[in-house]
Structure 1
């Protein structure tokens, strides 16, 4: 086993239970809190922006927050080189956790993974919530060319209110923060590098997802 990443020091995990699991020959970190009905949250292209989005969820649900391979506190896994492979990875994760049916939430990259998981394994997902999901091109609202965005301006493209992110951003040079973002960027590109963030089949995938009655 390689040395596990130590994580972002600005993110408070004190109210969460952390466990590590070996899946496909690599160790992943999963945080959980709450009780009763299980909810899985799949994060986007980074793990550095805190857990404020879960406020209130743990009062009603047992919430699981896994880190994708190569992100946050999870080890890199050279076997996972696409979103499709990541979907198969999570099928094994949920089997390991004995989660047969659960609510699934995904944001950005996690939204694409969640949508494709729900389309492939519809019987496993009772409700699906997609927040600014990656993978679905909307012609009326094209994505900006992020390759032209300066690094210092990138956070402003992630939120409407920068005050949400400021507590998690360094106020000066921070070698560890930069190293973790470089690592996560590499993991992100490994997942979407062959196809891009948009999946041309996503409209059809979305149409196959179960709709509420």
Structure 2
């Protein structure tokens, strides 16, 4: 449960919201499309006893600003670099979920001297396949249809239906709860514009349009953990295996029965796995900034 008040920092004239807790080696968590720091907040008190945990809302998401501009992976990665610079942090373990995994890999490619380890959770950027719902956001006219789908009228009736089903014994899983929370954030025009810009930067009508296979094989090897839910309906779990083609010697952990948010389905297991991974791996010789 969230127990902290987000802080803000102004980057390039826009406010970025983030959580900052604990002391020690730094872990930077990056959420996915329609996500926010709330997707990770439950992990903070499982990690911050001996790690400093940084959990931002990406621009266009959560409590951060939603400016008109560049929402590409490179732009998000540069924002994460700017946040670390502002906080005086040199190197981090990067943990990225879904879109956040793509941002984490882009960050590593652009700024390898800043990364100690990579943890990719149901990550984008490892294959073409993605849920048709996200592909539909790239189709012409989506900007006109989305306000109707995300209207207060539709949301109110969906919430009423959910309450009725709950009284009948139905309990939404982690995927439904997290996706619904993200969907409800699309009630204002700025959030919808940012969502469409972010989605169209990495997805086209045929699927994911950005692939780590194009650039990670040439990157300096780094300790990498890939976590996936076996019942992921957003990005297929077999992309975890394809990650090994681009990231030599990466470790893959499959959470059987979990969906697209394995860190929400099994938070204790995920936290233990992350802590053990950090404790037992070390990057031998990070490159210098001049060699990046």
CA distance in 2, matches of 1:191, 1:72: 14
Q: Highest Rg: 1 or 2?
A: 2
* 1:194, distance to aligned residue in structure 2 (A): 4.0
2:186 matched residue in structure 1: 181
**In structure 2, do the counterparts of structure 1 residues 84 and 167 end up closer, same or farther at CA, with 3 Å as the change threshold?**
closer
* 1:179, distance to aligned residue in structure 2 (A): 5.0
Question: 1:115 touches 1:205 (CA, 8 Å); kept in 2?
Answer: no
Cα RMSD, aligned residues only: 3.2
User: Structure 1, residues 123-170: CA drift from partner, whole Å, max 9, x if none?
Assistant: 1000110101112216xxx3331257x997xxxxxxxx9433577688
1:61 matched residue in structure 2: 51
Gaps of 5+ in 1: 1-11, 153-160, 171-175
Gaps of 5+ in 2: 137-148, 151-157, 159-170, 224-283, 285-292
Structure 1 SS opposite 2:127: coil
CA distance in 2, matches of 1:190, 1:169: 18
Return structure 1 stretches of 4+ with deviation > 6 angstroms.
Answer: 166-170
* 1:79, distance to aligned residue in structure 2 (A): 2.9
1:33 matched residue in structure 2: 21
- TM-score normalized with structure 2 length: 0.55
Question: 1:118 touches 1:209 (CA, 8 Å); kept in 2?
Answer: no
Structure 1 SS opposite 2:61: coil
- TM-score normalized with structure 1 length: 0.72
**In structure 2, do the counterparts of structure 1 residues 167 and 189 end up closer, same or farther at CA, with 3 Å as the change threshold?**
closer
In the alignment, which of 197, 210, 213 is matched to residue 190 of structure 1?
197
Report which of the two has the higher share of helix.
Answer: 2
Structure 2 SS opposite 1:27: strand
**In structure 2, do the counterparts of structure 1 residues 18 and 78 end up closer, same or farther at CA, with 3 Å as the change threshold?**
same
